[in-house]
Amino acid sequence: MAQRHLDPTDPAAAAPPPHPGSASAGTGTNATARGDAGAGPRADADTDALVGYLRAQATEFLRALRRHRESGTGAGTAPATGTATGAGTGPGARKGASAGAGTGTHAGAATRTGTGTHPGANGTYGGPDRAAPPADDVDAARALRRAARRISATLHTFQPLLDADWAEEMRPELAWLSGTLAMEHAYASRLERLLQALHRLSGSTAFPAPRPVGRSTVTTTVPPGVSTVPSVPAAAHPASANRGNLTVGAAKAGALLDRQLTLARTRAHSTALQALGSSRFHAVADKVALLASEVPLSSTGRGAAAAPRPDATPVDLRPLATAAQERLTDAVAALPLVTAGSPYNAEALVHGLSPDPAPHPQDAPWHQVRLLLRLHRYALEALAGAEAGEADDGVDVRLLAAGEALNRHRDAAEAAAAAAQAARTPRIAPATAYALGVLHADQRHEVEAARYAFQHSWRKEPIRLP
């Protein structure tokens, strides 16, 4: 199920670059929030702090781009072209384009990849013998997504201080890049989640392991006389007699999910490779390279960033960050937290397995709150400063726990939708359909548990760790 980038405002749904290690405040969507709704940011939370934060995130983006290029060229991708250090002539060869990333190259050419169509070309999935992509490659893609999310969120929250046309042009491009790079990992984690749930529900181990999608082939030599049949460990909880129908259909359900989600993962992998080699991505990378050296500000932002007069008042970022917090508070107030606070309320199972393939209607407000919470966290990061030496504000445990609960809510909702989609496959056996129905209900129970966890963490008083 493709991730949707909802509009966070929809009610329905020039300082030197900081230290290289300071651009990111966390890894993935469960990143640590620096600051909270009740804590004040540093005293100089003005336009200079915003410029420094955006430069830091642009620097991290370029550094991740270089890491992705270095890991990709040795793992089946075509080497980058036109990467003369600091000597490019195109628009990407800007002054300080690398901003500490150590490349000084055309930002777009850093990740040029081939577009072969034969199996295994450019690391596309060529069969179950493909190895997983290198850890550096996965980490680099994750860092690219993380930096793109933070830049896009900052452009949205503090747009009045930035050039309006530039910000409106950058935000959808960064959302496209982040979403495209996230799809392969999303399908892989969804398949793993569903297979583990089937194993837990049926007590059977006869499920196919998720097949990796990678860039290189691993050849294994088997000594003579050694059996190649994989050993299957004994089930921790053997299937009992009352699990008969579920156990019979679970293996076929797991095989069906494996086929569907592995195919989707393969397509997402190919799409990501094509995106990283496209002119659209090169244009985005060029703009981020410019951002690392110069942040386009509006007339209000430029007046505050320039040398102010003695009687001039610097532009404070806190009102804009407070507006983001208020949007989050209003969205949370519209959620059925009273119902979610009752364990085993079965609210998430009201609609059950519907023939309608549309997303679950009651999930959209929760997904919207997750996006608004992310905007709030990133605004706090910009206020507190992303420099490594300014992490004195500590961690707001409430925001961290709430974000983790909403991430689990999204994962469970998308897994339930994948199980429902598999159950709509024509001409499947009744036992297989039954197992998929039980799996769907299990994931909707996980949705309900995540809502309960969010309600429990959100109503707590803010707790700050040193």
Segment 430-443 mean pLDDT: 93
The listed range with the strongest mean pLDDT (42-56, 274-288, 305-319, 337-351) is: 274-288
Nearby residues of 44 by Cβ (< 8 Å), 6 or more positions away? none
Confidence of residue 316 (pLDDT cuts 50, 70, 90): confident
> Among 118-132, 288-302, 311-325, where is mean pLDDT lowest?
118-132
Q: Between residues 281 and 87, which one has the greater pLDDT?
A: 281
pLDDT (average), residues 125-132:
42
pLDDT at position 234, please?
Answer: 41
Please write the tens of the pLDDT for every residue from 144-174: 999 999 999 999 999 999 999 999 999 999 9
What pLDDT is stored for residue 89 in this prediction?
37
Which of 130-134, 342-346, 428-432 is modeled with the greatest confidence? 428-432
336 and 347 in contact (C-beta within 8 Å)?
yes
pLDDT band at 182 (very low <50, low <70, confident <90, very high): very high
Element (H, E) at 465: strand 464-465
DSSP 208-243: PPPPP--SSB---PPPTT---SPP-PPPSS---GGG
- Angle formed at CA 380 by CA 378 and CA 383, multiple of 5 degrees: 115
Rounded to whole angstroms, the Cα distance separating 262 from 266 reads: 6
pLDDT tens track for 382-403: 988 744 334 334 557 889 999 9
Averaged over 265-278, what is the pLDDT?
A: 95
**Could you tell me which of 464, 50, 61, 43 has the C-alpha nearest to residue 284?**
61
> Could you tell me the pLDDT band of residue 374, with boundaries at 50, 70 and 90?
very high
Neighbours of 398 (CB within 10 A): 20
CA–CA dist 368, 366 (Å, integer): 5
Secondary structure (DSSP) of 179-197 = HHHHHHHHHHHHHHHHHHH
Mean pLDDT of the chain: 72
- pLDDT at 195 exceeding the cut of 80: yes
Min mean pLDDT across 52-56, 88-92, 364-368, 405-409 is at 88-92
% of the chain beyond a pLDDT of 70: 59
Instruction: Check pLDDT > 90 for residue 186.
Output: yes
Residue 291 has pLDDT above 80, yes or no: yes
pLDDT of amino acid 47: 84
Choose among 336, 363, 328: nearest CA to 446. 363
Higher pLDDT residue, 286 or 96? 286
Calculate the CA dihedral of residues 62, 63, 64, 67 and round it to 10 degrees: 120
- pLDDT, one tens digit per residue, over 348-366 is 776 555 566 666 778 999 9
pLDDT on residue 340: 83
Residues 157, 134: Cα–Cα separation, whole Å = 35
Give the pLDDT confidence of 320-347 residue by residue, as tens digits. Answer: 999 999 999 999 999 988 888 777 777 7
Q: What pLDDT is stored for residue 220 in this prediction?
A: 41
Can you give the pLDDT at residue 459?
86
pLDDT tens-digit map of 91-119: 343 333 334 444 444 444 443 344 343 33
Tokens of 164: 């309006």
CA-wise closest residue to 40 among 319, 397, 404, 401 = 319
Give mean pLDDT, residues 219-236: 42
Q: Is 464 helix (H, G, I), strand (E, B) or coil?
A: strand
Judging by beta carbons within 10 Å of its beta carbon (0-12, 13-18, 19+), is residue 339 exposed, middle or buried? middle
Distance, CA of 356 to CA of 334 (rounded, Å): 25
| Alpha-carbon span 382 to 49, nearest angstrom | 7
Neighbouring CB atoms inside 10 A of 64's CB total 23
Specify whether the CB–CB gap between 360 and 15 falls below 8 A.
no
Nearest-angstrom CA–CA distance, 15 and 369: 33
* C-alpha–C-alpha distance, residues 287 and 276, integer Å: 15
What region, left, alpha or beta, does residue 234 occupy, with left being phi > 0 and alpha being psi -120 to 50 degrees? beta
Instruction: Please give the Cα distance from 175 to 365 (Å, whole number).
Output: 20
Q: 3-class SS at 316?
A: coil
pLDDT at 189 over 80: yes
Residue 140: pLDDT above 50? Answer: yes
Q: What are phi and psi of 162, to 5 degrees?
A: -115, 165
Distance (Å, rounded) from C-alpha 257 to C-alpha 266? 14
In this prediction, residue 248 has a pLDDT band, given cuts at 50, 70 and 90, of confident
